[in-house]
Structure 1
Amino acid sequence: MSHLTIALDIMGGDHGPHIILPAAKKALQEFPHLKIILCGPQTIMSEWFDTLTNTLQTRIVLSDCPQSVDMDEAPTQAFRQKKQSSMRRMLDLVNEDHADACVSAGNTGALLTMAFYVLKTLPGIYRPALVSKVPTADNGRVYLLDLGANVNCDSEVLFQYAVMGSVLAEQIDEISKPKVALLNVGVEDIKGNDQVKHTASMLLDTEAINYIGFVEGNDIFGQKADVIVTDGFVGNIALKSWEGLASFVIEEVKKASQQNWWRKVLAAIALPLLKVIYTKMKPDQYNGASLIGLRGIVVKSHGNASSEAFLYAIRQAVREAEMQVPNKIKDKIEAVLMERH
């Protein structure tokens, strides 16, 4: 297998290097063909680098970055004033073909702005989208997009999201003719705003996309579709609601099992089942939203991600690089545009 190179912004997120550097080490151990470029302050990286074996050291490059982007920094300010930041450097590395993909847990707005400027969108794509997988019934997964890159989307942008999501499900999960749906306030044709209705009409006329119609919010986890498309405003709220509910349920189960001896006994008996539920609902394992539609691979990790969760984001970047997702999206968009014209 040919080597892959992933660039990491080690200063991004709530915990920065303390979370990201251990994840980088685990990724190198998991993927023998992987090389990593770490972007951040040399002093921090060097101290950690010296603790590694010579074998791992040969697969790591340290890129000294004197600046970092704050989590609450305005995107336009970061874009203009942080050209030597770890976030900007990793994007430049992808743009210059020194890295096959990059991962950051940093400021989402700044990452979107910088990525859009540095990498540009693929031909035929108006705006990039944030997409991630969420759990569905029977251990399934569904790609949900957009998750907040664009809060206002017209029908053409939503149509492009459907094409990109279809490619992602087809390539990463090897699903033949993935089922694509539009998130709506009802499943009837008369429901929804003009953008959603027009997008539905466009998808129905496109043979290259396996469009199955509208789904409602309570259908997201029902394994009705492989890809669900919506605008960034609705998508972000849907994702955050699920993550909040998942964390709430997990914590409530933990609390209930500690209230008295009888519940502790019941919890011990039910422990195998609880572990299955916990594993299925734990948001960490779905960490890593892909910013698709760009000329390079960018994966956004949660800002409060654990080291294990950040490792999931690196895995996502590796998979997309191996499958050459941007090229596949480009080919699909070109084919769809030819069909429409």
Structure 2
Amino acid sequence: MNILKIAVDAMGGDYAPKEIVAGVEEARDRYPEIEFDLYGQIDKVKPFLTTSDRINLVQADEVIAMEDEPVKAIRRKKQSSIVLAAQAVRDGEADAFFSAGNTGAILAAGLLIIGRIKGIDRPGLTTTLPVLNNPDQDQFLMLDVGANADTKPFNLYQYAILGKYYAQTVMGVENPRIGLLNNGTEADKGDLVHKATHEALANAKDLNFIGNVESRELLNGAADVVVSDGFSGNAVLKNTEGTALSMLKLIKQSIMDGGLGGKLGAALLKPTFKAIQAKMDYSQYGGAVLLGVKAPVIKTHGSTKAETVANTIGQIKSMLENHIVDDVVTYFGEHSDEMIAAKEALK
């Protein structure tokens, strides 16, 4: 059995280290082929560890807080759990890096310590979201959702390629439909960046590009992979999360204000409400992946708890077993001339 090793930032997240440790133990019990190195302050991590089977604790004296400036923190806090875990991946001591901590610091560690794949200008942050109204599709991939606020057409072109590989290898989607997030479906919609990107993707021979998609159609399954600049993608992601939470709160409040009849009706519909909540829970799909770096770098929400940690580790396992990073390296190596030509054309 091929043993995989994951370097985990045990100190990152609102409920760390307790929920991180609990999630790692749950994943350890699910996946006998995975070992874990937990980086953190051992005196704070160890009390939550039930058993040390396939879990190794590594002392990290410093912690990068959520409010720390990312690049400065990576450079100054050399003994932090994020930095040490990323260095372990860089040095081949672990296969992947996982954290629920400071997003900017995780991205900086992925780029500055682990490093980007040759030929990729700007790695993108991707996440998986649910599809609510399509029986033939239960999820879609979106990138970039926050790694790069300022994005050029060539970056978006490369995101389409990265998204295609992830959708095929991890999500199991054959010939995924690629859509470009825009303010209309017509080919001439959007600013100069999006118009140029649309033309490049439409002319790409090995991409199943379906054109522009609007944000209101994303949860209906408009595409399997949605390509976006990091600013727009992050705004859409947060709006989707906020709308889902607000709707659930609105339903609950309406039930509480509806008197006895409303509460009785809600009791009868409880299984339906639970099914809706489960469908809208994107955390079941795992964390956000920084695509385009030399090893899997995965970040989950700061409020992540044990079940999501375990689910995310399952996502990492799938990435490693399907050799997605190796496939991307091979693709960009074999198509270097094509990438150079595309970059020149999209200047």
TM-score between both structures, scaled by the size of structure 1: 0.94
- 1:134-186 CA-to-partner distances (Å, cap 9, x unmatched) read 11123521101101000000001111111000100010122121110100111
- 1:82-137 CA-to-partner distances (Å, cap 9, x unmatched) read 11100011111111111111110111111111211111111110111110111112
Q: CA deviation at 1:338?
A: 4.6
Letter of the structure 2 residue corresponding to residue 82 of structure 1? K
* 1:292 lines up with 2:291 in the alignment: yes
Letter of the structure 2 residue corresponding to residue 89 of structure 1? L
For residues 249 and 3 of structure 2, what CA distance do their matches in structure 1 show? Answer: 41
Q: CA deviation at 1:273?
A: 1.5
For residues 311 and 271 of structure 1, what CA distance do their matches in structure 2 show? Answer: 27
For residues 233 and 47 of structure 1, what CA distance do their matches in structure 2 show? Answer: 40
Amino-acid identity (%): 33
2:35 alignment partner in structure 1: 35
1:1-341 equivalence runs, <5 A? 1-49=1-49, 51-52=50-51, 57-136=52-131, 137-138=133-134, 140-259=138-257, 260-339=259-338
Question: Contact 2:22–2:48 (CA<8 Å) still a contact in 1?
Answer: no
Question: Contact 2:36–2:54 (CA<8 Å) still a contact in 1?
Answer: yes
Q: CA deviation at 1:258?
A: 3.1
Letter of the structure 2 residue corresponding to residue 249 of structure 1? M
For residues 193 and 59 of structure 2, what CA distance do their matches in structure 1 show? Answer: 46
- 1:276-312 CA-to-partner distances (Å, cap 9, x unmatched) read 1110112432440001100011000101122222222
For residues 200 and 243 of structure 1, what CA distance do their matches in structure 2 show? Answer: 27
Question: Contact 2:18–2:48 (CA<8 Å) still a contact in 1?
Answer: no
**3-state SS of paired residue (1:164):** helix
Judge which range, 308-317 or 76-85, deviates more.
308-317
Question: Contact 1:287–1:302 (CA<8 Å) still a contact in 2?
Answer: no
For residues 269 and 335 of structure 1, what CA distance do their matches in structure 2 show? Answer: 58
Q: CA deviation at 1:230?
A: 0.6
Any stretches of 5+ residues in structure 1 without a counterpart? none
2:345 alignment partner in structure 1: none
For residues 154 and 65 of structure 2, what CA distance do their matches in structure 1 show? Answer: 34
Question: Contact 1:208–1:336 (CA<8 Å) still a contact in 2?
Answer: no
**CA root-mean-square deviation:** 1.5
**3-state SS of paired residue (1:147):** coil
**3-state SS of paired residue (1:317):** helix
For residues 164 and 297 of structure 1, what CA distance do their matches in structure 2 show? Answer: 13
Letter of the structure 2 residue corresponding to residue 312 of structure 1? N
Q: CA deviation at 1:221?
A: 1.2
Question: Contact 2:286–2:313 (CA<8 Å) still a contact in 1?
Answer: no
Q: CA deviation at 1:3?
A: 1.3
Question: Contact 2:130–2:282 (CA<8 Å) still a contact in 1?
Answer: no
Letter of the structure 2 residue corresponding to residue 227 of structure 1? V
Letter of the structure 2 residue corresponding to residue 280 of structure 1? K
**3-state SS of paired residue (2:328):** helix
For residues 335 and 212 of structure 2, what CA distance do their matches in structure 1 show? Answer: 21
Letter of the structure 1 residue corresponding to residue 23 of structure 2? A
**3-state SS of paired residue (1:62):** strand
CA gap of 1:217–1:336, structure 2 versus 1, over 3 A, is farther
- 1:61-99 CA-to-partner distances (Å, cap 9, x unmatched) read 111100110110011220221111000111111111111
**3-state SS of paired residue (2:150):** coil
TM-score between both structures, scaled by the size of structure 2: 0.93
CA gap of 1:313–1:160, structure 2 versus 1, over 3 A, is same
